[in-house]
């Protein structure tokens, strides 16, 4: 996963786990947002599956950047999924983006923060549309 730079098996789970661990360390209250995916056990198959879904969703969106109609459909779908989840705010997605960008130098060779930010910021902004 992690957009061509990390296409080895399990990379999405490893990268995602780093981001979620950092998010829970920065703001422990965010853990409560993931009760339906067994966040109490970060090694559970439910939580690991959620991490993979999040990272795969970002992967699909990043790969659709050159197809604006497709990207709009994808981000609208992901936005709709988040709007109905109680307690999720746009600031949480901004934090996730910041943490992901912070983790990337350890996960991706030749990491370019400007290029990655140019990809992630609009995707996460579109997904967070409609969130408080």
Q: What pLDDT does residue 2 have?
A: 45
Q: What pLDDT does residue 9 have?
A: 56
Q: Is 82 annotated as a binding residue?
A: yes
Q: What is the pLDDT of residues 31-48, one digit of tens each?
A: 999 999 999 999 999 999
Residues ≥6 apart with Cβ < 8 Å to 128:
79, 82, 90, 93, 94
Distance between CA atoms of residues 18 and 78, nearest Å: 21
Residue range 113-128: mean pLDDT, rounded? 94
The one-character DSSP state at 77 is: H
Distance between CA atoms of residues 33 and 111, nearest Å: 30
Question: Class of 11-127 per CATH?
Answer: mainly alpha
Distance between CA atoms of residues 9 and 12, nearest Å: 8
Residue range 17-44: mean pLDDT, rounded? 95
Q: What pLDDT does residue 3 have?
A: 47
Distance between CA atoms of residues 111 and 58, nearest Å: 17
Q: What pLDDT does residue 110 have?
A: 86
């Amino acid at each position: 996963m992690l957009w061509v730079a990390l296409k080895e098996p399990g990379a999405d789970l490893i990268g995602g786990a780093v981001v979620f661990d950092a998010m829970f360390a920065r703001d422990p209250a965010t853990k409560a947002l993931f009760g339906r995916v067994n966040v109490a056990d970060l090694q559970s198959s439910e939580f690991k599956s959620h991490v993979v879904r999040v990272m795969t969703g970002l992967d699909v969106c990043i790969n659709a950047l050159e197809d604006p109609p497709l990207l709009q459909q994808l981000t609208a779908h992901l936005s709709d999924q988040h709007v109905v989840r109680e307690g999720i705010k746009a600031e949480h997605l901004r934090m996730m983006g910041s943490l992901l960008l912070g983790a990337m130098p350890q996960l991706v060779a030749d990491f370019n923060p400007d290029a990655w930010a140019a990809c992630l910021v609009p995707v996460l902004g579109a997904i967070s549309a409609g969130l408080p």
